[in-house]
Amino acid sequence: MKYELVVGLEVHCQLNTASKAFCGCSALFGKPANSNVCPVCLALPGALPVLNRRVVEDAVKLGLAMGCTIAPSSVLARKNYFYPDLPKGYQISQFEEPICSEGILKIEAGEGEKVIRLIRIHIEEDAGKSIHDIGEETYIDLNRSGVPLLEIVSYPDMRTPKEASAYLQKVRQIVKYLGISDGNMEEGSLRCDANVSLRPVGSTEYGTRTEIKNMNSFKNVEKAIEFEADRHKEILESGGVIIQETRLWDADKGETRSMRGKEFAHDYRYFPDPDLIPVLVDQDMLDRMQRELPEFPEVRASRFVAEYAIPAYDAGVLTVEREVADYFEATVKVSGDTKASSNWVMGEVLRTLKEKYLDISEFSIAPDRLGGLVRLIGDGVISNTIAKQVFELMQDNGSTALEIVQRDGLAQVSDSGAIESVIDEILAANPGQLAAYRGGKSQLLGFFVGQCMSRMKGKANPKMVNEVLLKKLEV
């Protein structure tokens, strides 16, 4: 029997607010254990929560970006369960009345565009963290307790591991474009649980699903879903029954393992939190959040093609990250050359970021400095070869490209007499290659150009070198 894979994702997005969801404690990642805590997030008797307004605004922004219906009134509820890193014995979340519902997300997963439907986006607070790798004891760090999350729940509309990965990458791109989260999966700013099931091809009934947790990269999401699909298929084909449960992904072993039986909503005994009033979103807030939405990747890429006359491929690469798109536009303002700027950002800049594991915000060459470098090339002051040397030097200090060129004497030589003199020497020193070129081996032009550029340490004007060489070679 042939089976169809059915996948739905629950994505938790940690917001980059300055303070936590219901208290004034810092939400900053990486601080010493239990240093960002107060009576509210420690659940001390008598401490009362107050909702962070920014959390509501970020939820509305994300809902608008994903085409959701925004509820004018939504309710914060208590999700009751017991775990050592949950000091209250419940988690503040939303259940029957979420702030955002019924959205869509369009993805590209190799077979054209596909629409993934969203069930809901709701506000939630994070739990603390249990630490198991210090000796034989388990320690609790409550810095994360109360940090604001938005949970994005999709319908089971994905049919391949690649679609699931593409969906998660799209979610990450949107939250980063909105500026509401850094989307860092390794630090837990973006966490994903996958609900996986199989059903016979052609069936409309859903099979028994398992939930996979602990996937901290796009590649691991693909691998975990693929493994779980194969496990389901093996059980079904042997006449077995799938058990509804929660499973953990072990990236080292490349397999999932059972964690606990899958809970149902009634297991959590949800009820409205009596300490928190309903969340109200009026038309003024909706209008303000709509005005604050950024220009999203697809729209921005189309504008880049129309406004800057660059290829659609370039525009797509440049708009994957909002900060990279901003960097490109700032570079163009100075350079005046859209295609050359695109080439430099996509080439040298992105290569350097990848090699040094940097974000564009950490890159030492500001866009106005790169724009100055590109302008020097366009004005014929330096060649592309020299420009790459200057680019490397610019990363080590704050000098402009022009300052480095003047300091190190790297300006391009456009003196035809000097170039002609060097070419005469090269032709005299290579009579065999000269005879071969004149005998029909025109590809040797590159040899002579290379010799000239090498002799002049890359500073000769390439266009002039080619022009002078062709005149000399045709004599």
Residue range 156-203, pLDDT digits in tens: 999 999 999 999 999 999 999 999 999 988 888 999 999 999 999 988
Same domain membership, residue 262 and residue 131: yes
Choose among 79, 131, 129: nearest CA to 263. Answer: 79
> Do residues 114 and 260 both lie within one domain?
yes
Query: Using one digit for the tens of pLDDT, what is the confidence trace for 336-384?
Result: 999 999 999 999 999 999 999 998 999 999 999 999 999 999 988 888 8
- CB atoms inside a 10 Å sphere around CB 76: 25
392: pLDDT strictly greater than 90 = yes
Q: Are 327 and 360 in contact (CB under 8 A)?
A: yes
Residues 226 and 283 in one domain: yes
Computed over every residue of the chain, the mean pLDDT equals: 91
In a domain, 366, yes or no: yes
The answer to whether residue 404 is domain-embedded is no
Q: Look at residues 26, 392, 96 and name the one whose alpha carbon lies nearest to residue 268.
A: 96
- Candidates 142, 123, 31, 36; CA nearest to 83 is 142
Amino acid identity of residue 171, one-letter, is V
State which amino acid sits at residue 48: L
Single residue among 366, 397, 428 that ends a domain in this structure = 397
Angle at 171 between CA 50 and CA 289, to 5 degrees: 50
Is the residue at 453 inside a domain? yes
Looking at residue 266, what is its pLDDT?
Answer: 67
Residue ending a domain, choose from 242, 267, 287: 287
Helix H or strand E segment including 79: strand 77-80
* Mean pLDDT confidence for 3-23: 96
Per-residue confidence at 414, pLDDT binned at 50, 70, 90? low
Residue 178 phi, psi dihedral angles, 5° rounding: -70, -20
Residues 219-239 have a mean pLDDT of 94
Amino acid at 422: V
Residue with tokens 């901290």: 216
Residue 363: the pLDDT is 94
C-alpha 331/C-alpha 329 separation (Å) is 5
How far apart are the C-alpha atoms of 325 and 181, rounded to whole Å? 18
Q: Are residues 183 and 222 in the same domain?
A: yes
Any domain includes 406: no
- Considering the domain architecture, whether residues 235 and 301 belong to the same structural domain is answered as no
> How many Å apart are CA 470 and CA 464, to the nearest integer?
10
pTM metric for this prediction: 0.84
In the chain, % of residues over pLDDT 70? 98
**Shortest CA distance to 395 belongs to which of 356, 443, 434?**
356
| Average pLDDT value for residue range 455-464 | 74
Q: Give the pLDDT score at 263.
A: 64
The count of structural domains within the chain is 3
Q: If DSSP codes are grouped into helix, strand and coil, which group holds residue 195?
A: strand
Cα 338 to Cα 321: distance, rounded to the nearest angstrom: 18
Over range 56-69, report the average pLDDT: 97
If one compares 153 and 469, the residue with the highest pLDDT of the two is 153
Task: Report the DSSP pairing between strands 73-74 and 210-215.
Answer: unpaired
| pLDDT (tens digit per residue) in 32-60 | 999 999 999 999 999 999 999 999 999 99
Do residues 81 and 268 make contact, with C-beta atoms less than 8 angstroms apart?
yes
DSSP letters of 123-189? EEE---EEEEEETTEEEEE-TTTT-EEEEEEE-S-B-SHHHHHHHHHHHHHHHHHHTS----TTTTS
pLDDT over 90 for what percent of the chain? Answer: 71
Is residue 19 very low, low, confident or very high in pLDDT (cuts 50, 70, 90)? very high
**Whether 278 and 302 share a structural domain:** no
pLDDT band at 136 (very low <50, low <70, confident <90, very high): confident
**For the segment 237-283, what is each residue's pLDDT rounded down to a tens digit?**
999 999 999 999 999 999 999 887 766 666 889 999 999 999 999 99
| 263 plus 372 within the same structural domain | no
In a domain, 389, yes or no: yes
Q: How far apart are CA 291 and CA 300, in angstroms?
A: 16
For residue 14, pLDDT over 70 is answered with yes
Q: Grade residue 301 by pLDDT with cuts at 50, 70 and 90.
A: very high
CATH number at 449 reads 1.10.10.410
**d(Cα 64, Cα 62) in Å, to the nearest integer?**
5
Burial of 47 (C-beta count, 10 Å sphere; 0-12/13-18/19+)? middle
In a shared domain, residues 270 and 333: no
pLDDT, position 315: 97
CA distance 450 to 230: 56
C-alpha pair distances (Å), 227 with each of 140, 214, 222: 32, 14, 9
Burial class (CB in 10 A: 0-12, 13-18, 19+), 89: exposed
Looking at residue 413, what DSSP letter applies? Answer: B
Strands 190-200 and 3-14, how do they pair? Answer: antiparallel
Render pLDDT for 97-125 as a digit per residue (tens, 0 to 9).
999 999 999 998 777 889 999 999 999 99
Summarised one tens digit per residue, pLDDT across range 68-101 is: 999 999 999 999 998 899 999 999 999 999 999 9
> Closest by alpha carbon to 12, among 197, 206, 144, 131?
144
pLDDT-derived band at 449, boundaries 50, 70, 90: confident
Q: Looking at residue 268, what is its pLDDT? A: 87
Separation of alpha carbons 295 and 306, rounded Å: 15
| Nearest partner of 335 among 381, 397, 297, 398, judged by Cα | 381
Question: Is 409 a member of any domain?
Answer: no
Same domain (yes/no): 282, 299: no
Are 279 and 392 in a shared domain?
no
**What is the rounded CA–CA span in Å between residue 57 and residue 200?**
43
Do the bridges between strand 255-261 and strand 245-250 make them parallel or antiparallel, or are there none, so unpaired?
Answer: antiparallel
In a domain, 26, yes or no: yes
Judge whether residue 468 has pLDDT over 80.
no
pLDDT band at 216 (very low <50, low <70, confident <90, very high): confident
Per-residue pLDDT, 466: 79
Under the banding of pLDDT at 50, 70 and 90, the label for residue 439 is confident
CA distance 435 to 127: 79
Query: Which of 287, 310, 341 represents a domain boundary (last residue)?
Result: 287
Query: Residue 117's pLDDT is what?
Result: 97
The single-letter code of the amino acid at 80 is: N
Residue 142 pLDDT class (50, 70, 90 cuts): very high
pLDDT of residue 441: 79
Q: Exposed, middle or buried: residue 212 (CB in 10 Å: 0-12, 13-18, 19+)?
A: buried
Residues 196 and 306 in one domain: no
Whether residue 432 is contained in a domain is answered as: yes
- Domain around 384: 295-397
Pair (99, 238) in one structural domain? yes
